[in-house]
């Protein structure tokens, strides 16, 4: 005859079950705490990286070097109206170099100028030796090219000038070349070869046309 009695667990079995349940919940609690600690550490680390990145970005924006701004202020060839003016040809110019950086100075090793007409070199000279330009400052660069030493214009070239003059405009190109370094406090950058190309058009009177005066010159490094 089959017995219908429900088996009764022993006290040891019940104790074992309670211990197993307690260990399970303790493990879950430890796992939850570990996960929270890991998340907290990751959050702190990512926040630290974000703050450092933001500071570096702000520092880069404030110290990012801006290349010099070159403007041609004046340019003239006074004797252009003379038929044989090539014998005493002379060019005068006034250019400004501005350091637009807020906290960065610029060292110029020297500044050379070369005058071009129809992409042909017709003169040039060293217009200033090495100098330092403070932040938010401008430097006037003036010079005169004349005679065989700094300006070479023969009769044939002068006739080309006269042909352009009869059409109302003679266009020259003034190229300035220098080697510059940027300076922040006691740090100085490596040298950069700078070129600025300034178009200069003069009218029949030999004076710069209004459309070229105060015009910004493209500046590039090589």
Say if residue 84 is in the same domain as residue 109: yes
- 64, 93, 118 — which closes off a domain? 64
Going by pLDDT thresholds of 50, 70 and 90, the confidence category of residue 191 is very high
Q: What pLDDT is recorded for position 29?
A: 56
Q: What does the pLDDT average to over 172-191?
A: 92
Say if residue 95 is in the same domain as residue 188: yes
Note the pTM of the prediction, 2 decimals.
0.72
Say if residue 35 is in the same domain as residue 94: no
Q: What does the pLDDT average to over 135-140?
A: 96
Q: What is the DSSP letter of 206?
A: S
Q: What pLDDT is recorded for position 134?
A: 95
Alpha-carbon distance of 51 to 135, in angstroms, equals: 28
Q: What does the pLDDT average to over 127-149?
A: 94
Say if residue 111 is in the same domain as residue 206: yes
Looking at the structure of the chain, the number of domains it has is 2
How does strand 131-133 pair with strand 105-117?
Answer: antiparallel
Say if residue 53 is in the same domain as residue 158: no
Q: What pLDDT is recorded for position 145?
A: 96
In this predicted structure, the answer to whether residue 120 has a pLDDT above a threshold of 90 is yes
- 45, 64, 83 — which closes off a domain? 64
In this predicted structure, the answer to whether residue 7 has a pLDDT above a threshold of 80 is no
Q: What pLDDT is recorded for position 4?
A: 54
Domain, as residue range, for 49 = 1-64
Say if residue 192 is in the same domain as residue 177: yes
Q: What pLDDT is recorded for position 76?
A: 97
- Where is mean pLDDT largest: 80-94, 121-135, 145-159? 121-135
Go through the chain and tell me how many residues it has.
222
CATH code where residue 198 lies = 2.60.40
Alpha-carbon distance of 22 to 27, in angstroms, equals: 9
- 23, 40, 64 — which closes off a domain? 64
E-strand ranges in 15-156 read: 69-76, 90-99, 105-117, 120-128, 131-133, 137-146
Judge contact between 132 and 207, C-beta under 8 A.
no
**Among 109, 97, 102, which Cα is nearest to 190's?**
109
In this predicted structure, the answer to whether residue 147 has a pLDDT above a threshold of 90 is no
Say if residue 147 is in the same domain as residue 183: yes
How does strand 170-184 pair with strand 137-146?
Answer: unpaired
Going by pLDDT thresholds of 50, 70 and 90, the confidence category of residue 23 is low
Say if residue 26 is in the same domain as residue 131: no
Judge contact between 157 and 117, C-beta under 8 A.
yes
Say if residue 58 is in the same domain as residue 76: no
Q: What pLDDT is recorded for position 1?
A: 47
Residue with tokens 């300076």: 183
Q: What does the pLDDT average to over 7-20?
A: 57
Alpha-carbon distance of 195 to 220, in angstroms, equals: 5
- Residue-wise pLDDT tens digits, 97-113: 999 998 899 999 999 99
Say if residue 81 is in the same domain as residue 182: yes
As given in the structure block, the two tokens for residue 79 are 């004797």
Cα maximum dimension of the chain: 144
- Residue-wise pLDDT tens digits, 202-221: 999 999 999 999 999 999 99
In this predicted structure, the answer to whether residue 83 has a pLDDT above a threshold of 70 is yes
Say if residue 95 is in the same domain as residue 163: yes
Whole-number average pLDDT of the chain: 86
């Amino acid at each position: 005859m089959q017995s219908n009695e429900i088996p009764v667990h022993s006290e040891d079995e019940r104790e074992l079950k309670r211990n197993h349940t307690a260990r399970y919940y303790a493990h879950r609690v430890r796992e939850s705490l570990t996960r929270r600690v890991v998340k907290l550490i990751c959050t702190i680390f990512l926040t630290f990286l974000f703050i450092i990145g933001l500071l570096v970005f702000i520092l880069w924006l404030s110290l990012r070097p801006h290349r010099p701004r070159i403007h041609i202020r004046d340019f003239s060839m006074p004797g252009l109206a003379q038929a044989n003016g090539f014998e005493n040809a002379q060019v005068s110019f006034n250019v400004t170099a501005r350091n637009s950086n807020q906290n960065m100075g610029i060292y110029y090793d020297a500044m050379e100028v070369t005058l071009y007409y129809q992409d042909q070199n017709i003169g040039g000279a060293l217009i200033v030796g090495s100098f330092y330009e403070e932040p938010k400052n401008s430097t006037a660069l003036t010079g005169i090219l004349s005679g065989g030493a700094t300006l070479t214009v023969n009769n044939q070239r002068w006739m080309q000038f006269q042909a352009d003059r009869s059409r109302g405009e003679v266009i020259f190109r003034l190229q300035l070349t220098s080697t510059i370094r940027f300076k922040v406090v006691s740090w100085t950058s490596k040298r950069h070869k700078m070129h600025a190309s300034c178009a200069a058009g003069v009218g029949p009177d030999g004076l710069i046309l209004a459309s070229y005066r105060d015009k910004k010159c493209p500046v590039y490094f090589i």
